[in-house]
Chain A
């Protein structure tokens, strides 16, 4: 009976009658009988009982309230767990994804070399409220059970109760962009991640190409762990995405305002492409974001970040001793418009990395890339929606001795279209089915199209 109303079935005074017949015949009374639904005999005799049931219903002194169906459509927990008189609240997200074939081209390479389309992910989030305006928030995740990672762990202080001002200290939420602040779980309309926020370029944090040719030789191999550069670590390392939403950075974040203008600023140890817990280069990243919401329907955002991304161990082996500052600089704009059944989002980023210019043909210019993602959702019926996303990554050109000495993008441009359907079995249990088509002039054969499905549950 847990979570269900006691919904007795129809009776007629002290007499019994065919309750299914009543249910079918008297919709205005809405007499329902779960028992009769399961009664095969009742089904067989339903037609013969029509007239007698009607007569009995009409003359019966009492009828039963029919609260059809269970009290709650939720068979699974739907709300967070509250402990210690509400001072500790725990919630969770679980998702499992499967795709039609392995992603041998690293188009969906996520963290720890996982394929984002073939992934089991479990996240547990907790909030501790020890005192009035202080809270401690954390999240641990595991992907494929390989390892459990602390994703977030920070203290939030709201010094003044009546002012929109808060400070987060620790492994803090992303400051930059719109998608990173909604990347997990239900907020992702589809299964894959937008390219600018996970796709691995061929830039690495602890090894660098000595020449432009070194870089041109590994185009489209950013997700591969076997890429080695002449300078720096010779260990397995994936390339850096423009913005890594799969790990959070460590530092101090300040938020001011709420509506219509909200400002976020942070100082962190890593960079957008390479978030860190412990600093590896002594350089801090400065990142900021301004969100303007002129109405409930529209949200506009501008973000910027600048931070050192190369490891000190690498700088030590550079010919000039790494005296220069090797930074990643990113600017981004985003917009969201929603009304009725429609939700439209757009986000654009421009990133540049400075690499050491070691040998000819030299990498004198900053390596630039742009990322664009457009996505939309339309809710077609209760519990159903369709969604689509279009992504593109482009890269600035460099000149080496490869490609007939013609200027060539330093990494292979890639585009993606992903379309899908989402269905809510429950408010907090969603199934998604999507098809993703990638386009990249691949130097190595790899499938570009993937059919994928995902089941997502949260409480």
Chain B
């Protein structure tokens, strides 16, 4: 009985929220700025390899992980009709590319192997645990992320390979560019908590108000050790 009630209410919940959205003509604003990350603590470091050859490893991307900026309080309508694209997290040069991926719930992520060696992508995160097993160059496997949360991804063969996938229940999030800049578009007027996330540092939460008439709001972050 309880189970049936839950499913009924769940079905209702999918419908009812969709009835309430943003007013069609409401002006929106932009929250933008930069995330400055202290020192080089987030650059990729490999474990000393006693059995290696000392060969330099090609760097498929910038050493530094990008940051993610998102709204802690999202407009209700942001939960409706979430885009669910298919995105890719490559395994190239013994690294995940990109190292940080921000997606909406329901997105499928492909994990192609572009290296001439085996990789074994897995995650133990409660949000989405999986183990894709070993597969070689040219092959790809995928995972669908239905639940918001943070998923840390590893390769079981190469301990220096790790990545983050941030799964959001709404669309107000973005990954910083190489200069650390970010931009959140179409934010309805209101007061919001904006979060800047960057492992391994503590996240920073700032409150910002988008005026009724919309417009740009500048909000910068500086992240570092506690």
Contact = CB atoms under 8 A, between A and B. Distances in A.
A65 B202 contact: no
Contact of B16 (A58, A62, A66, A72): A58
Given A65-B74, A80-B46, A424-B124, A383 B131 contact: yes
Nearest to B12: A54
Given A25-B13, A50-B5, A73-B125, A296 B46 contact: no
A318 to B, nearest CB: 38
B45 A86 contact: yes
Contact of A1 (B9, B49, B147, B203): B203
B150 A70 contact: yes
A62 B124 contact: no
A67 B45 contact: no
B55 A125 contact: no
A181 B76 CA distance: 56
Interface in B185-225: 190, 193, 195, 197, 199-205
Contacts of B49: 127
A131 B107 CA distance: 45
B160 to A, nearest CB: 8
B73 A8 contact: yes
Contact of A30 (B71, B134, B148, B164): B148
Contacts of B78: 63
Contact of A5 (B105, B150, B162, B200): B150
Interface string A63-96: 1111111111110001110100110011100000
Contacts of A281: none
A54 B46 contact: no
Interface in B74-111: 74-76, 78-79, 105
Contacts of A277: none
B4 to A, nearest CB: 13
Interface string B145-180: 001111010100001101010111110110000000
B126 interface: yes
B53 A255 contact: yes
B105 A30 contact: yes
A317 interface: no
A65 B168 contact: yes
A1 B198 CA distance: 12
Given A26-B10, A74-B152, A383-B131, A164 B55 contact: yes
Given A28-B13, A339-B134, A58 B20 contact: yes
B195 A6 contact: yes
B60 interface: no
Interface stretch (A98-106, A133-141, A202-210, A300-308): A133-141
A427 B124 contact: yes
| Interface-central residue, A24, A65, A68, A296, by most chain B CB under 10 Å | A65
Interface in B1-36: 2, 5-6, 9-10, 12-14, 16-17, 19-20
B50 A137 contact: yes
B134 A338 contact: yes
Interface in A203-259: 255, 258-259
B48 A296 contact: no
Interface string A10-44: 01000000000000111111111000000000000
B202 A341 contact: no
B133 interface: yes
A80 B54 contact: no
A181 B52 CA distance: 10
A11 B73 contact: yes
B38 interface: no
A3 B200 contact: yes
B56 interface: yes
Contacts of A152: 50
A173 interface: yes
Contacts of A28: 10, 13-14, 79
A121 to B, nearest CB: 16
Contacts of B70: 65, 67
Nearest to B118: A296
Q: Which 4 A-B pairs have the closest CB atoms?
A: A127-B48, A58-B16, A296-B136, A382-B129
Interface of A: 1-8, 11, 24-32, 47, 50-51, 54, 57-74, 78-80, 82, 85-86, 89-91, 125-127, 133, 135, 137, 139, 152, 156-158, 161, 164, 166, 173, 181-182, 186, 255, 258-259, 295-297, 338-341, 343, 379, 381-383, 424, 426-428, 458
20 contacts: A3-B199, A5-B197, A8-B73, A26-B13, A50-B9, A51-B9, A63-B79, A64-B72, A65-B172, A66-B169, A73-B124, A89-B45, A127-B48, A158-B54, A164-B53, A166-B55, A296-B117, A297-B134, A339-B133, A339-B134
